[in-house]
């Protein structure tokens, strides 16, 4: 997915999760929730090294380029 679309998707999704957590906390203030969000870049060099070592569990190909 191109970067602008991926960024918009991640912002929207994180907002929906955050809104749901706030709603749930308003209904039960003792139900405390901690949220975190981390974006993990996976460069084509990492997928190439995985492929050279025999493959990877995600089935990623270096020819697909860099990913997040």
The closest alpha carbon to 44, from 14, 25, 68, 22, belongs to 68
pLDDT value at position 60? 87
Could you tell me the pTM of the whole model? 0.50
List, for residues 12-66, the tens digit of each pLDDT value.
998 998 888 888 777 777 766 677 778 888 899 999 999 999 988 888 889 988 8
Q: Are 32 and 25 in contact (CB under 8 A)?
A: yes
């Amino acid at each position: 997915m191109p970067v602008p679309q991926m960024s918009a998707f991640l912002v929207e999704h994180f907002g929906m999760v955050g809104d749901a957590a706030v709603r749930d906390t308003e209904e039960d203030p003792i139900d405390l929730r901690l949220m975190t969000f981390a974006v993990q870049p996976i460069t084509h060099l990492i997928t190439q090294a995985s492929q050279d070592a025999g493959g990877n569990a995600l089935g990623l190909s270096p020819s697909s380029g860099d990913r997040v």
